[in-house]
Amino acid sequence: MVYGWLKQMASDVYSPYCLLCAQRSRTRQELCQDCAHDLPWNRHACPGCALPMPVEARAALCGECLRSPPPWDSAASPLIYAWPLDQLLQRFKFHADLATGRLLGELLAEFLAASPASRPEVLVPVPLHSARLRERGFNQALELARPVSRRLHLHLDNRLCVRRKNTAVQSKLDARERHRNLRDAFEVCHPVSGAHVAVLDDVITTGVTMTALSQVLREAGATQISVWSLARAARLR
């Protein structure tokens, strides 16, 4: 009985606070069970582009992937970019809340660790241009990739790809402008002949960024490309 009381007291002292509701999480993460349940989980996703699909969908792939397969081999996103995840991501990305970033990276790592898919040889976070990196102070894709790399025991290479053009912010552009904006934006610094490469970002919206990176990785010799992101916007490419 005394042991149980001491165990409960230790749990109360060391249990972190939930980053969403500010209550004791009662878990090892800064997210309580109720708030974790309320996250917009991407439970029925297209394996080609991770687009959320209706439960009753008969085809394995979404219509867009059937019409025009993406230049990568598979995609995975555990969450949909919607409330309240969007609030957490904005807190992390635009307010340098690295504790929130660590939690989001752990959620992504847990999801990927449970996947039966083959593991890549190298994990590549979507790079920021040096000017944007100096302005923000960190690369959100790299911060998400760190816990994924540790959990899955993957080689994390944040120097394999560089962003050689300081492009305009993608979220302010339409689909056609996004393609034009990222033309010749990325460069692979050394060959990856025969490698399985995973590219990781925070959110996939139109897929233009992942398309541009996948194309240069193919040219550098990658034979298999997996696209991973924390969240997927509920829209087509």
pTM beyond cutoff 0.95 = no
Q: 164 lies in a domain?
A: yes
pLDDT value for 56: 80
Q: Could you give the CA distance from residue 122 to residue 154 in angstroms, rounded to a whole number?
A: 6
Let me know: does 205 contact 170? Beta carbons within 8 Å. Answer: yes
- Does residue 235 have a pLDDT over 70? no
* Mean predicted lDDT score pLDDT of the chain: 88
| DSSP secondary structure letter of residue 193 | T
**Total domains, the chain:** 1
- Does residue 20 have a pLDDT over 70? yes
pLDDT value for 3: 45
**Where residue 119 sits, what CATH number does that domain have?**
3.40.50
Q: Could you give the CA distance from residue 111 to residue 128 in angstroms, rounded to a whole number?
A: 25
pLDDT digit string, tens, across residues 39-65: 999 999 999 999 999 988 777 899 999
Q: 133 lies in a domain?
A: yes
In angstroms, what CA-CA distances link 24 with 4, 13, 31, 140, 173?
19, 10, 9, 26, 40
Q: 152 lies in a domain?
A: yes
Q: Which residues pair with 45 in a beta bridge?
A: 52
Which of the two residues, 225 and 12, has the higher pLDDT score?
225
Q: 148 lies in a domain?
A: yes
Q: 26 lies in a domain?
A: no
Q: Could you give the CA distance from residue 215 to residue 57 in angstroms, rounded to a whole number?
A: 29
Give the model's confidence band at 175: pLDDT under 50 very low, under 70 low, under 90 confident, else very high.
low
